[in-house]
Every structure is written in structure tokens, then in C-alpha cells.
A and B are shown apart, each in its own frame.
Chain A
Amino acid sequence: MGSLMDFLTVFTQPQLLALVGVGTFAGVYVGAIPGLSVTMAVSILISFTFSWDVYPAISLMIGIYMGGVYGGSRTAILLNIPGAPSAIATALDGYPMAKRGEAGTAIGVTTVMSFIGGFIGIGVLALAAPMVSDFALRFQPRDYMLLAILGILLVGSLSQGSLVKGIFAGALGIAIGAVGRDPLTFTERFTFDLQLMEGGISFIAVMIGMFGVSEALLQLHHVDKAAVRQKISRVVPSIATVKKHLPLSVQTSTIGVVIGALPGTGGDIAALMAYDHAKRVTKDPERPFGEGAMEGLVAPETANNAAVGGAFIPMMTLGIPGDAVTAIMIGALFIHGLNPGPMLMIDKPDMFWFIVGCLVMANFFMLLFGLTGIRLFTKIVEMPRSVLIPLIMLLSIVGAYAVNNSVSDVYWMLGFGVFGYFMRHYGYPLGPVILGVILSRLLDDNWRRAIITEREDLGLFFKGVFASPLSTVLLVAVILIFVSQTPIWARAKAKLLNRKERVQ
């Protein structure tokens, strides 16, 4: 009963309701405008909502998250430019549809499917999270440590790019997170005897630099790219269309939730995998994939919105983020004095149910804003980059400054911005850095706890790992990720595939 009341909090307070609405609205546009990403928006927003209460701050951020994941599809369809990484797969069939003059239908289907996917994700979150957190209470420190490593590795390996670069990025993040005085022994780490470094590097400065400034600098290459106009017709899809694709949408939503719930993997990967799945199971699409197949829209869009709910599961129950945005949200909860993890669900169940309520509301707002306001939308998306880029930079600076009122944070932010700019150019993923920074403390604490209980004996440590099925599974998963990237795996796979082809 209490949880129901907490769930309804957001519906009964007009102020919170409005914030979710504003957030979702802003999210749709932030997600849609190429050069603005949800990660960027949420990381800048943390510093601005710093002085607010937890509830309003979370409402706004959830709105932006939900809206942003959906918003990326708009520009993917209209301009063939995914507004967010999670919309890459959407562009493959969305843009051909738009070229055929069916942009309206494409947007309509995308919206409704995102809504369905979003709900499935939230439903799974509401059902699974309490169970997972009960289970998580039995986790040993070593399990947390392994989960953290797994999360960082998963981001590195599944995002496009090489695992080695991903590992570098993750390790760098852990090192950045370790800067300052060690919380257990008060020893200085990586401070170079500078007083400035003793408090550590503000992770908000790192985040805004990596996702805000570096993106803005990169966009400088494309100031002159003009937007293409598309005609938009009827938007609201017919019930028959929705019904026809319902079975597929349930399947791809499931993929979305599962991928989203894996620590470290989010909507972008879920969308690509769902697209792949749709291609395999759709026997006779009306049009081939890549030329405007409706299934090619349904799959990634349900999956990436379902992944939102999924991503909250490890975040709320284990304190391990499901993707880059939830990593930032964990940071936000920390700032507001909450400690995400299994104890949060026990100490503050209201927080959990409040978040679920916000997600539900954001999902409705997304449907509303998705099916309306197309005209306004085309206007805003055409905002020239020559104005947009300086504004993003200004926002980034203000955001970095506002948290601690310190100019040195601004310099950190700029430094990481320039560094992130080069990382992007040379194909190093940025997600693992943020995950590393956020998880550094958790990894460090739990490793030390685990090894101290085993009296600093690695043999005993591994004995403990293999004595528990959970730890064993986690360790095997970590090892598998490594093996899957080595030549041995490629050779084995080639052998297996060859055999299959011969059978056929």
C-alpha cells in the first residue's frame, strides 16, 4: 500500500508532474538535435539541479532521459542523422521511408512502439527490481567487484570499436576516480603533492568535459552542413499497423530490457541487437530491410526505450549503472545524499517507487509530444549550429562551475573536453571512462573488503570465488569477454561457421 502511494507521488504533485513533462519535452528535442546528447544534457543538469530537492531533480532528469532516447529517432528518420547513438539502427529503415514520403507514418509508428517498449521496460523494472535487491543482499564484496569490472568491460566490448581501447578507457576512468585522498586510509593518491588534487577530480567536470565540450568541439567540423526538409503527412498510425507488429515489439522489448539491465550496456546496443533479431525472424517483410521495412523501425525503437527501464534495475538494486546516463544519475543520487544499492530499496523504498512513477509519466508525455508538435519540431531542429555550438559550450562552463563554485573545475572540464575530443577522433569509447570514474570507489572498497576477509591470500580469494556459483558465473563472464576479443575466438568461430555452411 505504501509503495502504491509512493508510486502515485508524482501524479499528485502538479509541480513534479510539470517537471517530468518539461523534462520529456526538452529530452525529445535534446535527443533530436544532432550535437546535443542525452548524456550531455543530464550531466549538465546535475550541476544545475544541485540545489534542488531530490524529487524534482530526479523528475526532470528522468523526463530528459526518456524523451531523449525517443527523440534521437526523429532526426534519424527525417535527416538520416541519428540524434542519439540509440537511434543508429532506426536510421537504416526510417530514412528510406521518409524519402518515400512516409515520414509521418514512420514517426507515428516509432512513437507508439517506443511507448510500448517503454512500458514493458518499466513493468519489468517494477517487478524485477525488488527481487533482485533481495537477492543482492546476499552478494559478497567480491561479487560487487566482479560486477563493476564486468560493467566497464561490457561497455568497452559491445560498443563499436576495439575492446583494447575500451579497456584503456575504463582503466583510465578508475584511475581518475582514485585521485585524491583514499577514503579508507587517507593516503594521497595521484595528487602529485598538489593541494588542488587532494579532494579528487570532480566527476561532473569529467562528464561535462567528455560529453559536452568534446562533442561541441567535434561539431565545429560540421558547422556548414545544412538541414534537409522532409514533408510530413499523417502521424498517428492505424491500430491495424500497431497490432500487426505487436508480437515483434514484445520480443524486441524483451531484448531491450535484458540488454539494458546488463550492467554497462544501454539502449544503443539493445537497438542494434533488436534490429539484428528482427532481420532474422521477419520472414517476408513488405519491403526488404534497409529500404524502408516497418519492422526495421519497430525493433530498435521498442528495444531502446525498453532498455531505459532495464538500465534502472542494476542502478537501483546494485548501485551499478546500466548505461552512461544511469551512471550520471547515480552521481546525482550521491550528490543528494542517497546511496544507490540494495540498502536503498530497503531504507528508502519510496525513492524507488517514485522513480517508477516518474518513468510511467515520462512515457505518457513522450507519446503525447511524439504525436504532436511536428511543425515546431522541424523549426527547432533547423537551429543553426553556428549558434548552437557556442551555447553548448557556455552551458558546459556554467555547469562545471556551478557545482563547487570553482574555476579549477572549469579547467578540469576543459582539459577533459580536449582530451575527449581526441579520444573521439581516434575511436576510443568515452562511456567506459565515465563508468570507471563512477565505479572506481565501489571497485576499490569491495576489492579491499574481499581480500581482507581472505587474509590477503589470493589462493583463498579464488577458492571463495569458485565456492559460490554467482561469483563463478561473474568471473567466467569477465574471462569470456576477454577471450571473445582474441584471435583464438575468431578462429574457433570461423571453424564453427564453416561447418554450419557445409551442412546447409
Chain B
Amino acid sequence: MQHLDPDHHDGTSDATPGGERDKRRPGELLFAMALTGASLFLLFDAWGIENAFGPNGLSSPRAIPLAATAAMLISALLVTVKTLRLPLDRTETVMKDILPVTVILFAALLIAYGVLLRPLGFLPTSALFLIVAIKVLARRGWFWTIGISLGSLVVIWLIFRIVFSVLMPSGVVPEAEFIQFFRNLTAGGGA
């Protein structure tokens, strides 16, 4: 079977194989070494799993974790060696192709979302997140940004709350009372 990659290693498609075939991407070696280190650590940890009910034999709870982490270590080592042999792709840089500022910013935004979710509640946190994110990405006027953000948030909230009955932390917004108000309203109107 031929290797099919109609120019999509640039990430325009969902089917994204990483990088050029015979070149090492910036940071790839570091990643492989980090995986090797992590595998080694996990292997040690797996070795420490003790069977409370008998010998640490082939059927003990440590068997599969040990086998899995050993497989991880061996494959990570092989990958590291293979990566080491490839020439570095000089056309790419970490800042441009692997970890641009936007990605770091969004990772930070997502973490901020997790931190704020409980104290602030779903609606305000999501509104803030969407406004900042869309503003950064689309670089359009505030009016457009806020309109699109709040509009899509309302749609999402309605779908979740009504169709899927997902309960998100309400935080500072009295969500339940709000819904009850409308329920009463419609019930009153219907009766």
C-alpha cells in the first residue's frame, strides 16, 4: 500500500500524520526522551505493586502493568534511537510549527477555565472564555465578538440544560431559579 498523504501533514485535515517522513521535527527527540524517562519511572512504579494475597507471580496484579510499562520502555527507546538517526527538519521551528504562542495561550485559557468553573459558574466562565478566545482568533470588532460568543453560548446552554439535562456548576448565576421562573410562566400561561 502506498503512503497516502495528499499534503495534509500541514494539519488541514483530521488525518494528520506528524511531519515529513524522513526528517526529525524540532522537539521530537526531546519528546521521545521524555517518554523514555516516564516509561522507566512507571516501570519502577509497576515493580512496586505488591500482591496482598500471595506471591508476585504471573497472575499477580503487577503482571500486566509490568508488561505494559516494559513494552512502553522498549518501544520508547527504539523510537528515541530511530529519531536520533534522522536529520533535523531545518524548515520548521518550535515556535512556529510545534508550539506557537496561540497554542500556549489557549492551553492557559483552558486551565483558567477549569480554575474558575466552580467559583464563578458555567455561564460567566464560558462567556468570558468564548469572548476572549474568539476575539484572539478572529480579530474582529468587540460587537461582533460578544454577539457571536453570547449567541452560541445561549444555544449550547439550551441544548445541554434542556435536551441533555447536564448540570454544570451554577456559581454566581441563579440558574435554577431562572429556569423555574420560565417554567412557572409557561405553566401559568398553559393553565
Contact = CB atoms under 8 A, between A and B. Distances in A.
B84 interface: no
A463 to B, nearest CB: 15
Question: DSSP majority for the B interface?
Answer: helix
Contacts of B15: 82, 84-85, 88, 268
A444 B68 CA distance: 10
Given A51-B165, A220-B102, A447-B63, A397 B113 contact: yes
A381 to B, nearest CB: 13
Contact of A389 (B76, B137, B148): B137
29 contacts: A84-B14, A85-B14, A88-B13, A88-B15, A89-B4, A160-B4, A161-B18, A167-B71, A168-B71, A172-B68, A178-B65, A185-B60, A187-B49, A217-B103, A217-B106, A220-B106, A272-B1, A390-B133, A391-B130, A393-B129, A394-B156, A410-B117, A425-B18, A425-B25, A426-B32, A427-B17, A440-B64, A452-B59, A456-B59
Interface residues of A, number: 95
B167 to A, nearest CB: 7
Interface in A258-278: 268, 272-273, 276
B171 interface: no
Nearest to A175: B68
Nearest to A88: B15
Nearest to A391: B152
A497 interface: no
B138 interface: yes
Given A160-B17, A391-B156, A184 B61 contact: yes
Contacts of A456: 57-59
A163 B32 CA distance: 15
A83 B152 CA distance: 23
Contact of B52 (A187, A190, A425): A187
Given A88-B6, A88-B15, A164 B111 contact: no
A88 B6 CA distance: 8
Interface residues of B, number: 81
B164 A51 contact: yes
Interface string A213-225: 1011111111101
Interface string B94-120: 000110101100110011011001100
> Taking each of A88, A170, A458, which has the highest tally of chain B beta carbons within 10 Å of its own beta carbon?
A88
A185 B164 contact: no
A74 interface: no
Nearest first, the 7 A-B pairs at minimum CB distance are: A427-B18, A386-B137, A390-B133, A386-B138, A85-B15, A171-B71, A168-B75
A217 B11 CA distance: 11
Interface of A: 34-37, 47-49, 51-52, 72, 80-85, 88-89, 91-92, 160-162, 164-165, 167-168, 170-172, 174-175, 178, 182, 184-190, 192, 213, 215-223, 225, 268, 272-273, 276, 384-387, 389-391, 393-395, 397-398, 401-402, 405, 407, 410-411, 414, 417-418, 421-422, 424-428, 436, 440, 443-444, 447-448, 451-452, 456, 458
Nearest to A36: B14
A402 B168 contact: yes
Nearest to A166: B75
Interface string B16-44: 11110000010110011001000000100
A447 B61 CA distance: 11
B82 A164 contact: yes
A189 B49 contact: yes
> Taking each of B32, B50, B60, B65, which has the highest tally of chain A beta carbons within 10 Å of its own beta carbon?
B65
Contacts of B146: none
Contacts of B14: 34-37, 72, 82-85, 215
Nearest to B167: A405
Contact of B100 (A184, A220, A386, A417): A220
B164 A48 contact: yes
B53 interface: yes
A85 B53 CA distance: 47
Contacts of A82: 8, 13-15
Contacts of A174: 64, 68
Nearest to A393: B110
A458 B57 CA distance: 11
A144 B129 CA distance: 45
B88 interface: no
Contact of A165 (B59, B61, B75, B152): B75
A424 B18 CA distance: 6
B130 A390 contact: yes
A402 B166 contact: yes
Contacts of B63: 447-448, 451
